[in-house]
Every structure is written in C-alpha cells, then in structure tokens.
Amino acid sequence: MLIDLTYSILNAIIQTFLQPRLKCIDGELCLITGAGGALGRLFALEFAKEGARLVHTFTVDLSKRQSIYEAAGRVREEVGEISILVNNAGVVAGRRLLECPDELLERTLLVNCHALFWMTKAFLPPMKVKNRGHIVTVASALGLFSTACVEDYCASKFGAVGFHESLTHELVAEGHVDIKTTLVCPYIVDTGMFAGCEIRRELRSLIPPLDPLYTVQQSMKAILAEQQMICIPRLMYIPYLARALLPWDANVATYRFMGGDKCMLPFIKNAELKTSNGHSKSS
C-alpha cells in the first residue's frame, strides 16, 4: 500500500509540471447531454475537433427515466454503441428553499443527479463487455463545498460527485480499468445560469466567472489525459480542502469574508424578476 501511495503521489506531482500524454479519440462515438446549452455545444465542437463522432440531436426529457431509456434504445439502433458519455446537462431552481415549488426542487435533483443513474445504466453495459470507454461527469465546485440559498443545486451536485466517485471505485474493483472516468468541478461559468451571482467586490478579479470556452478546453485536457478529477480553476482545490480540514466555524468565517454566504442573493433576485415578468407577459 505504501509503495502504491508513494507512486501515486509522485506521479501526480510529475503530471502537474509535465505535459501529460493525450489519448486519441478519433472515430470514437460520443454522446453529450445538454448539448443544446452553452457548455454542451462547446463540448461537442471540441470533441469533433479531436475526430470523435457525435450522436446526432435527440430530444430527451432528462427528468424522466423512461424518456432516457427510450432515447438510449434509439441511439443504439440508429447510431450504435457509444464509447464516450459526457453527462453535462444541469439546471437550478433559482428560488429560496421555502419559496420554491416542490416540482422545481424535484426537477433539479432529477436532471442533475438521478439522470446520471439512468444514463449510466443505459450506456455502461456495452463498455463493460469491451472493457473500454470513458464516462465524464460535469458536476460543480458546489458539489465539493456548499453555499447558501441554492440547496437544490448543491444537493444535486454533491449527489453527482458521490455517484461518480462510487462508480469509479466499482469499475476499478471489477477490473474494468480501461473504462476511464473524469469528474469536472468548475467554479461558476459565465453562461447566464447564475447571472447576478457575486462574491466580495475586492475579490472578484481574483475569482471571476469562468469563460465557457476556457472551461471546456481545460475539461478536454483532463479528459484526454484520462485525469480522474479536475477543479477549474485550480484555486477551487483550496476551499475543497479547507472544508475537510478546518472547523465549521472557520469555514463560515471564510465564506463571510469572501461574500460567499450572500453571493447567490442577487442571482435569486434576478431569477424572481424574470419569473414575475414572464407571468405578467403571459397573463
């Protein structure tokens, strides 16, 4: 164990400073959920640049298990067995917990977490037969540490991280070492999903919202290098470790200093305004 532990640490350190060897995915069949969104479209373009074949557009309600299974059957019949699965789709309610309709809370959990189970059950079996494939889970930094007022999103992303890690352990335990997994945990990406979210003004230049293309390109490097996990930016590893190592009150004090305890309030206000404007227009 000590030999494996030492080797793993040294290898990680070396990979940090050296350009990792990137695998070829030319001709691989790739399926990306949420490909109609900002990150999904960019992932599709980046995979296409690497020569991967993309599953053509299928309209699927990821909040419904049967819709996923039916679409998976169509993919197998019309396109073939996929070798790269990118679970990218995500939603957020944008309401305070006690003011949020139950169906919106359920939708976040169904799309961001439950769908991972059904997508994996649908597409993993052929990968196991061939002992070959790659499963990517696009989670969030808010799946590693939490903040206030987005309980649905944090819960769903913590669930996504837990699902991904357990699945990875299972594949290794079963000897499916050539089925790779990559967990992607980005900070807030500037796609409009969390429009208005702001940390303390003095720190905004240090941790600005991520450019979508940069986020995807960094994710692609990790995927092609068969890296098990990536936080974007690397600065996000600090609060991840701090959450585990520091007392609860110390983490709370840090969040308050950074403005993290109230950073979602402008976002929720924007979401509420959009909702009310939408209702007034429809009425």
What pLDDT shows up at residue 278? 60
For each of the domains in the chain, give its residue range(s) and CATH number, in order of start: 23-232+242-281 (3.40.50.720)
What distance in Å separates the CA atoms of residue 195 and residue 209, rounded to the nearest whole number?
A: 10
What distance in Å separates the CA atoms of residue 262 and residue 242, rounded to the nearest whole number?
A: 19
Torsion of CA 226, 227, 233, 237, to 10 degrees: 170
What distance in Å separates the CA atoms of residue 197 and residue 189, rounded to the nearest whole number?
A: 11
What pLDDT shows up at residue 279? 44
In sequence order, the β-bridge partners of residue 31 are 85
What distance in Å separates the CA atoms of residue 202 and residue 178, rounded to the nearest whole number?
A: 45
What distance in Å separates the CA atoms of residue 156 and residue 161, rounded to the nearest whole number?
A: 9
What distance in Å separates the CA atoms of residue 158 and residue 151, rounded to the nearest whole number?
A: 10
Please give the helix or strand (H or E) that residue 232 lies within, else none. Answer: strand 229-232
Residue pLDDT tens, the chain, 283 long = 878 777 777 776 676 667 778 999 999 999 999 999 999 999 999 999 999 999 999 999 999 999 999 999 999 999 999 999 999 999 999 999 999 999 999 999 999 999 999 999 999 999 999 999 999 999 999 999 999 999 999 999 999 999 999 999 999 999 999 999 999 999 999 999 998 898 888 888 888 999 999 999 999 999 999 999 999 999 999 999 999 999 999 999 998 998 888 899 999 988 888 776 664 333 2
What pLDDT shows up at residue 98? 94
What pLDDT shows up at residue 13? 67
What distance in Å separates the CA atoms of residue 193 and residue 265, rounded to the nearest whole number?
A: 14
Give the residue carrying structure tokens 């909702």.
275
Residue/partner pairs of 204-211 with CB below 8 Å, 24 or more apart: 206/235, 207/233, 207/235, 210/186
The catalytic residue among 7, 69, 153, 237 is 153
Alpha helix (H) residue ranges in 178-264: 212-224, 237-245, 248-258
Catalytic annotation present for 153: yes
